[in-house]
Amino acid sequence: MATAPSKLGRRDVLRGLAGTLLLSVTPVGLAATSASVVAVRVWPANAYTRVTIESSAPLTFKQFSLKDPDRLVVDLEGIDLNNELQSLAGKVGDNDPYIKLLRAARNKPGVVRLVLDLKAAVKPQIFTLDPIAEYKHRLVIDLYPAVQTDELLAFLNDNSQLKMDVVPPAVPAEKTASQASNVKPAEAKASDPNKKPTENKPTETVDRSKLKVDRLITVVLDPGHGGEDPGAVGPGGNHEKAVVLQIAKRLRDLLQSEPNFRVVMTRDADFFVPLGVRVRKARAVQADLFVSIHADAFVRPDANGSSVFALSEGGASSTAARWLAQTQNDADLIGGVKVKGGEDLRKTLLDLTTTATINDSLKLGKAMLGELGSINRLHKPNVEQASFAVLKAPDIPSILVETAFISNPDEERKLIDDDYQQKMAQALFKGIKRYFAKNPPLARTRIAQNP
């Protein structure tokens, strides 16, 4: 990859003439620039571990995997082993979910070999990033589990209880009742044993204002980006990851000053959290709401304003389509019960979960836009819909707020201003309260959690 064929040819000739002595002083190829490693980082997380090697010039690499035991080998070309690179081994924690041991050693002149002893089979993704902000050239090694999960897909696959709830015939009445009391009204209705599940339409069936329940409301705040990923960078050099964390902390403080709110942050400092982990954290604490906070960027510096996103039906249905395809061959077995018309039933099941949640997300988004409009121009007047991975918790109303354009010099100045950050947090706070005033939280609606 790094060596041009003509060079290789010449080097082979030289090697033939002079043997290893000459080889040791021959550059590895055109890419053998004087790159040196300036920093190394390891970001472990459940969904994947990221290893970053930052260097003064772009690195080229070759990779291969070995089995029994699982190892990943990455040869870094055009570089020599230095202290920084050697420190990488010590940065892998015992609790890293994927890496057991990492070794860096000089393989041949200008080539450093990284050997990663793995705890499980992984699907590595290795790529380079161009310099941004204070970061120089980076080579990123992401170790994903060999079987990658989509949160919605995982939910549908794991959710045997929900599957049982929409399969009335073979389920004992007592069990059905106890489960029905445990799920959202839309799903509970589907479990009515006198109804054929396929008759149910995915519409709101309960007047929530009559269901006021006094309990703690859990709001998950998700400051975008973090760690290795600065997000958008403003013309003044300010990082999206920093301003959204500051706004999220202000919003957290406002919510926690109320007696009935509990706040969980997907990150409360400058570290990297994969998208899937953000969603999983929200589901693990049975969040009532998920609010992802970002700052927008566009090539045109005059782009400005706030916007709010909810998951698109398309985003949900593309996952749904994969799930349907995957379960197609399961002989219509859902939750271990054989049902007729399995296709329709599965579609209904998906509509019930995703449509109800998207409806709630749109209501939340609308309440948010109403408040944001009083402190900033709205980039778009309505809640937009897109297939953001971070919005894919199938059972938690989720929105993504683009607070303002950090690429716009005026809005960048505002975003780093204490008073404006507080105003922004206030607007988000009021939006959340406005949403719950109209849509009081239901009785605890635990459906299913990933372990």
CA dist 164 → 337, 339, 353, 361 (Å): 8, 11, 14, 26
226 binds Zn ion (CB under 5 A): no
241 binds Zn ion (CB under 5 A): no
Binding mask 290-309 for Zn ion (x = CB under 5 A): ----x---------------
- Please give the DSSP secondary-structure letter assigned to residue 306: B
Binding mask 266-295 for Zn ion (x = CB under 5 A): ----------------------------x-
Question: How near is the Cβ of 386 to Zn ion at its closest, in Å?
Answer: 12
Residues contacting Zn ion: total by CB under 5 A: 3
- Round to whole Å and give the CA distance between 334 and 324: 11
Question: How near is the Cβ of 378 to Zn ion at its closest, in Å?
Answer: 18
Question: How near is the Cβ of 21 to Zn ion at its closest, in Å?
Answer: 53
From 4-12, 118-126, 220-228, 282-290, give the range in contact with Zn ion by CB under 5 A: 220-228
- Round to whole Å and give the CA distance between 445 and 215: 12
Q: Which is nearer to Zn ion, 112 or 275 (CB)?
A: 275
Question: How near is the Cβ of 377 to Zn ion at its closest, in Å?
Answer: 19
110: left (phi over 0), alpha (psi -120 to 50) or beta: left
How many Cβ atoms from other residues are within 10 Å of residue 24's Cβ?
Answer: 11
By three-state DSSP, how is residue 372 classified? helix
Encoded tokens for 88: 């990488």
Question: How near is the Cβ of 227 to Zn ion at its closest, in Å?
Answer: 13
- Please give the DSSP secondary-structure letter assigned to residue 226: B
CA dist 304 → 76, 308, 376, 409, 413 (Å): 42, 13, 9, 10, 12
Pick from 262, 254, 257: nearest CA to 219: 262
Q: Which is nearer to Zn ion, 186 or 277 (CB)?
A: 277
CA dist 230 → 74, 234, 333, 370 (Å): 26, 11, 45, 29
Helix then strand then coil, % of the chain, to nearest 5: 35, 25, 40
Q: Which is nearer to Zn ion, 44 or 231 (CB)?
A: 231
Question: How near is the Cβ of 153 to Zn ion at its closest, in Å?
Answer: 24
From 210-218, 230-238, 279-287, 360-368, give the range in contact with Zn ion by CB under 5 A: 230-238
Question: How near is the Cβ of 328 to Zn ion at its closest, in Å?
Answer: 36
Q: Which is nearer to Zn ion, 294 or 379 (CB)?
A: 294
Q: Which is nearer to Zn ion, 138 or 294 (CB)?
A: 294
Which residue number has the CB closest to Zn ion? 294
Could you tell me whether strands 99-108 and 111-118 are parallel, antiparallel, or unpaired per DSSP bridges? antiparallel
Q: Which is nearer to Zn ion, 224 or 276 (CB)?
A: 224
Within positions 384 to 443, which residues make up the interface with Zn ion, using CB under 5 A?
A: none
- Round to whole Å and give the CA distance between 340 and 86: 61
Q: Which is nearer to Zn ion, 22 or 386 (CB)?
A: 386
Q: Which is nearer to Zn ion, 352 or 424 (CB)?
A: 424
Q: Which is nearer to Zn ion, 224 or 397 (CB)?
A: 224
From 9-17, 193-201, 231-239, 418-426, give the range in contact with Zn ion by CB under 5 A: 231-239
The H or E element that residue 252 is part of is: helix 240-256
Question: How near is the Cβ of 390 to Zn ion at its closest, in Å?
Answer: 10
239 binds Zn ion (CB under 5 A): no
Could you tell me whether strands 217-223 and 289-296 are parallel, antiparallel, or unpaired per DSSP bridges? parallel
Question: How near is the Cβ of 193 to Zn ion at its closest, in Å?
Answer: 46
Backbone angles phi, psi at 136, to 5 degrees: -95, -160
CA end-to-end span of the chain:
42
Q: Which is nearer to Zn ion, 78 or 231 (CB)?
A: 231
Could you tell me whether strands 137-145 and 333-334 are parallel, antiparallel, or unpaired per DSSP bridges? unpaired
Question: How near is the Cβ of 231 to Zn ion at its closest, in Å?
Answer: 4
Q: Which is nearer to Zn ion, 155 or 388 (CB)?
A: 388
Contact criterion met (CB below 8 Å) for 21 and 48: no
231 binds Zn ion (CB under 5 A): yes
- The dihedral formed by the CA atoms of 424, 428, 429 and 431, expressed in degrees to the nearest 10: 140
CA dist 119 → 88, 105, 140, 147, 150 (Å): 17, 21, 19, 14, 22
224 binds Zn ion (CB under 5 A): yes
Cis peptide upstream of residue 235 (ω within 30 degrees of 0): no
Question: How near is the Cβ of 406 to Zn ion at its closest, in Å?
Answer: 9
Binding mask 17-56 for Zn ion (x = CB under 5 A): ----------------------------------------
Site for Zn ion, rule CB under 5 A: 224, 231, 294
